[in-house]
């Protein structure tokens, strides 16, 4: 059961071989046993979870079950969930209990799924290692001395350690794909606008996108079927016909054109990661794909562009946390200005403060044109590179992360080195494209390596087909950390 796919669990529930209550209790027991060491979850509410499971069992008994009915999922603690504490990994929201559901949460509730709990994350999704959370560092199940990646590190660790059937994450610059790679699981960032951001606490609104994290591409497809859809409450939500993302999973890959950007295989890529990615490309050749050499010349500028645009948007979005309406308020202050200052100083962590200051600076009078406007222009050039590339290939592949998981504390004193962890993923967010990471082997230290697959706009079904066919031919995605 611990290694069952979502499709298998759904079949077992429908056949009454197991009940949702039993399955939910099984995962709650595992969480109670393993989470104190891993710190993957921030908030649990067994009574609420089991109540949802009982409702799912009643629904199944009436023959009204759907693909995910009764299956326990974890939710990244960036999604508001009614009656649940929603912290975004920050002291600022330590005691905040949401009065409403995010669109993603509503979609899972409507499908009859069970919410196991809220997973740990970098504070306000700002980080690449899950070390900035106010609630403590998350540990990688493959090596407890290593980071799980970020910001969706709690989700990645929970899925890898089998502390849930699957889970949700969000991706602003690689925060689904990079932790998926470092923890040996599969994760997908959809095309911007495919999944509603309503009720998802904002970091950088033009980049943030929710997506599924699971052990296989097949599981991701089933989850995306539930998560995707138009939501009028989100002005960036795209009004498109509903589609079945699992429809193409079984198609052969004969004739698939894979683009390999030369910029992704140069300096900075560790040899063991490069070797595992090369082996994956060779496997795709055996499956009938052809390789095309492409270039994304402006991708080298994605890091500086991102760290102008994302902090600028964060500075604006986080201005609402002022100690007045909700969130942390300082216990002692003299006047209103001091209340703002002390509440924000106490409520935000160092990385969040750093990005707010950078964002405020680049938006300030005299610097807007020099930094923010110029970054927006380069963002357009980065997106155009992808448009040109897709004239010659169907999907783009490369490493998800330049290295395997690094040790906890290794990059904490060097923000730039930390930012470079997302060097291969950020361009995808800047262009608004869909991207995913799947396990493709292991590095010299025995830690997982991720293969990144990037598709054209709204090409998630093809990407999932490409990933699924690889996973039918390999077993990297079914391996579990030792002792799990």
Catalytic site residues? 76, 151, 175
Report how far residue 419's alpha carbon sits from residue 182's, in angstroms, rounded to the nearest whole number.
Answer: 15
Residue 352 to residue 350: CA distance in whole angstroms: 5
With CA atoms as reference, report the closest residue to 358 among 403, 321, 306, 401: 306
The DSSP code sequence of 290-352 is EEEEE--GGGGGHHHHHHHHHHHHHHHHGGG-SSSSSS---S--SSHHHHHHHHHHHHS-HHH
Contact predicate 215/2, CB 8 Å? no
- The residue assigned the tokens 């590190």 is 153
CA distance 139 to 364: 38
CA distance 428 to 446: 28
47 CB neighbour count, 10 Å cutoff: 7
Tokens of 462: 């093809």
Buried b (16+ CB within 10 A) or exposed e, 212-226: bbbbbbbbbbbbbbb
CB 183 within 8 A of CB 129: no
SS3 call for 168: strand
CA distances from 116 to 22, 105, 166, 393 (A): 13, 12, 10, 40
Question: What distances in angstroms separate CA 303 from CA 71, 123, 306, 444, 479, one per listed residue?
Answer: 38, 20, 5, 27, 32
């Amino acid at each position: 059961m611990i290694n069952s796919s979502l499709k298998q669990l759904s079949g077992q529930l429908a056949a009454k071989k197991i009940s949702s209550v039993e399955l939910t209790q099984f995962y709650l027991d595992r969480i109670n046993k393993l989470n104190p060491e891993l710190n993957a979850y921030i908030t649990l509410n067994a009574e609420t979870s089991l109540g949802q499971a009982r409702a799912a069992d009643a629904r199944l008994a009436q023959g009204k079950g759907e693909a995910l009915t009764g299956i326990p999922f974890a939710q990244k603690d960036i999604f508001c969930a009614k009656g649940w504490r929603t912290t975004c990994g920050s002291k600022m929201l330590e005691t905040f209990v949401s009065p409403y559901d995010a669109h993603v949460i509503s979609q899972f509730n409507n499908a009859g799924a069970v919410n196991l709990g809220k997973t740990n994350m970098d504070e306000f999704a700002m980080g690449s290692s899950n070390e900035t959370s106010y609630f403590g560092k998350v540990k990688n199940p493959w090596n407890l001395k290593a980071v799980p990646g970020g910001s969706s590190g709690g989700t990645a660790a929970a899925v890898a350690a089998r502390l849930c059937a699957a889970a949700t994450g969000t991706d602003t610059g690689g925060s689904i794909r990079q932790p998926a790679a470092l923890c040996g699981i599969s994760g997908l960032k959809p095309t911007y606008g495919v999944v509603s951001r309503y009720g998802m606490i904002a970091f950088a609104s033009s980049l943030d996108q929710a997506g599924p994290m699971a052990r296989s591409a097949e599981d991701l497809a089933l989850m995306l079927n539930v998560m995707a859809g138009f939501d009028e409450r989100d002005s960036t939500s795209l009004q498109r016909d509903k589609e079945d993302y699992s429809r193409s999973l079984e198609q052969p890959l004969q004739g698939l054109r894979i683009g390999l950007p030369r910029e992704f295989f140069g300096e900075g890529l560790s040899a063991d990661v490069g070797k595992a990615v090369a082996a994956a490309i060779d496997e795709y050749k055996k499956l009938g794909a052809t390789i095309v050499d492409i270039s994304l010349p402006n991708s080298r500028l994605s890091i500086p562009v991102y760290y102008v645009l994302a902090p600028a948007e964060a500075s604006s979005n986080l201005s609402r946390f002022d100690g007045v309406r909700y969130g942390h308020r300082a216990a002692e202050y003299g006047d209103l200005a001091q209340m703002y200052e002390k509440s924000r100083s106490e409520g935000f962590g160092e990385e969040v403060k750093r990005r707010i200051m950078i964002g405020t600076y680049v938006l300030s009078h005299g610097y807007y044109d020099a930094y923010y406007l110029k970054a927006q222009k380069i963002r357009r050039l980065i997106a155009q590179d992808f448009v040109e590339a897709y004239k010659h290939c169907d999907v783009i592949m490369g490493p998800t992360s330049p290295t395997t998981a690094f040790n906890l504390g290794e990059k904490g004193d060097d923000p730039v080195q930390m930012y470079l962890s997302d060097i291969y993923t950020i361009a995808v967010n800047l262009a608004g494209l869909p991207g995913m990471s799947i396990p493709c082997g292991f590095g010299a230290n025995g830690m997982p390596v991720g293969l990144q697959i990037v598709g054209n706009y709204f090409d998630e079904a093809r990407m999932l087909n490409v990933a699924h066919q690889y996973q039918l031919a390999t077993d990297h995605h079914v391996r579990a950390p030792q002792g799990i």
